[in-house]
Amino acid sequence: MPPDDRARTLRDALVDDLLRRNILRSPRVAEAMRAVPRHPFAPWLSLEEAYADRAWIIPGTTPEAPATLSQPTAVALMLEGFDLAPGQRVLEIGAGTGYNAALMAHLVGPAGRVVTVDIEAQLAEAARERLRFDRNVEVVHGDGACGYPPLAPYDRIVATVGAWDLPPAWREQLAPEGRLVVPLHLGGEAQDHVLVSFRREGPLLVGVGLCSLGMVLMRGDFAGHGRAAAFQNGPDWRGPPVPGLSVVPSLRVTAYPRGVPHELRPHEKVIEKPSVRLVLAALDPGEPSG
């Protein structure tokens, strides 16, 4: 079978599996994952490896500062939590190989715009080269915690690295009622995160937990994972620490910036971060979970 046909067959099989497992629910996201090939963003892998449902370390990155091509399951969950529409403006924190940005560029279309930021100059340059034919994508070298003010506000912001805190720039650069999807550290081991889909409501970010998963950690000024023990205050809301992902309890997460008061209710728990106070509670019966 010619390589292009083999790649298409493997890509369709991957998407069919994600649909069967109910990871993919949106026809638009499924179509994007069928349309955008994954293997050009991972030329060091075989076709079978490129379309396996697993993450891969990007060559040239170090154990101390690794970067990955994200697991397709995690990519699909992030896109599902995003609800991207044509014409929207998107900011991605962590360019990686550029694959996620290519998927989002497909979803927002020619009238939309995707900005993807990476702290590693080498990764940013390689992603820029792979995305050179996507005219609605801009690759920026910089600390993603600062966002990218020149093109703000953004309808959607997504972090493809595990975050310990929520940098103020993300909320400030998010459009009213915009969405922020971020793997957020809510306790437990440093690399265990809950994928939270937030919506901006005035000064607050109000979100729901989608799943738990292990992520490469964010670096830069807001990395902060080494200080986690000093700020952790509350329950461990993680799902079981299994490879890939696992289901988390039906969880509401509300981020209150410093200076915004909140009267804690008996059923709520708090995790204090330097930039925000995270208030955790179980979703009410019948409340949307995503």
Q: Which residues are catalytic?
A: 70
Is the CB of residue 81 less than 8 Å from the CB of residue 65? no
User: Alpha helix locations (H) across the chain?
Assistant: 3-20, 27-35, 47-50, 72-82, 99-108, 121-130, 168-173, 228-231
Tokens for 47, please give them: 């076709």
Q: Write the CA distances from 72 to 1, 17, 232, integer angstroms.
A: 24, 11, 30
Tokens for 216, please give them: 């490469």
Q: Which residues contact 114 (CB under 8 A, 6 or more apart)?
A: 89, 90, 92, 101, 104, 105, 108, 134, 136, 137, 138
Pick from 97, 144, 282: nearest CA to 208: 282
Angle between helices 72-82 and 27-35 (to 10 degrees): 140
